[in-house]
Amino acid sequence: MGAPRAPLEPPTPEQSAFLERAMSQYGKATYNFAFRLTNNEADARDLTQDAFIRVYRAWRSFEPGTSFLSWIYRIVTNLYRDELRRRKGRFHEEIPEDNAPQAFRGERPLATNPIDDYVDRQIGEPLSRALADLSPDQRQVVILADIEEYSYQEIAEIMGCSIGTVRSRLHRARALLRRLVERAQQQQQR
């Protein structure tokens, strides 16, 4: 992603070992989470890379005994949100809390690679299609609640918002998803 980066310090042996273990154990989960968020191969790569660089920088702030996955999902969430803000400049205004669910069909992907996009849509078409119609925040809460199976409390901590916000985003996302499913079923019946 295009965020400015402060220079890195060379690693200590402990720091290298920590990062290596983190990438081997959680690299796949982190990449899949990033891919579901962005629905785009190139952005998922950048997001995963930036997240692990942030893990490298802040490895001492990780508290042993807590969930590493929750920690790195929070990092990915923040990086994704920062990037959306940077590119669009008005991320929050796009998701009015009190309005009815909205479809974001016109949302421009963060990076476009036609071949990657084509392959991705062939592989994960049902999920991509279902999630693509949600706003970034709604998509994220559905991924965390339904795919990653986090509790509302955990999702609130990862996303940095209240449980009430998680609840309302999930309610709207689920209502929209069900409408999409019903519409797909009607189209199949015709």
Partner 1 sequence: MIEHLSNDLIVDFVHGELEPAADARAHAHLVTCATCTSEVNAERTLREFLRDAAVASEREMPSGINAAIWEQIRAAKPGPFAALTSLFKPMIAIPVAAVLLAGGYFATAATHHESPSIAASYYLQAHAVQSSQGPLSERTGAIRAAVAEAYDGGYPATAAYGAAR
Residue 103: which region, alpha, beta or left (left: phi > 0; alpha: psi -120 to 50)? beta
Question: Which of residues 103 and 147 has its CB atom nearest to partner 1 in the complex?
Answer: 147
Residue found under tokens 């925040």: 137
Which of 78, 113, 128, 165 binds partner 1 (CB under 8 A)? It is 128
Question: Which of residues 26 and 91 has its CB atom nearest to partner 1 in the complex?
Answer: 26
Candidates 72-80, 82-90, 95-103, 142-150 — which segment interacts with partner 1 by CB under 8 A?
A: 142-150
- Cβ atoms of 113 and 43 within 8 Å: the answer is no
DSSP reduced 3-state for 9: coil
Confirm or reject binding of residue 35 to partner 1 (CB under 8 A): yes
Question: Which of residues 103 and 119 has its CB atom nearest to partner 1 in the complex?
Answer: 119
DSSP reduced 3-state for 181: helix
CA distances from 60 to 23, 29, 39, 50, 57 (A): 16, 22, 31, 17, 8
How wide is the angle at C-alpha 147 spanned by C-alphas 74 and 49, nearest 5°?
Answer: 40
- Residue 8's φ and ψ, nearest 5 degrees, are -85, 150
Q: Contact letters (x/-) for partner 1, 150-189, by CB under 8 A?
A: -xx--------------x--xx--xx-xx--x--------
User: CB 78 → partner 1: shortest distance, Å?
Assistant: 18
Which of 62, 69, 117, 124 binds partner 1 (CB under 8 A)? It is 124
Give the DSSP H/E element, type plus range, for residue 174: helix 163-189
Residue found under tokens 């062939």: 122
Using CB under 8 A as the binding rule, the residues of this chain from 69 to 88 that contact partner 1 are none
Using CB under 8 A as the criterion, which residues of the chain lie in contact with partner 1 when the complex forms?
Answer: 7-11, 16, 19, 23, 27-28, 30-32, 35-36, 45, 48-49, 52-53, 56, 123-124, 126-128, 130, 142-143, 145-147, 149, 151-152, 167, 170-171, 174-175, 177-178, 181
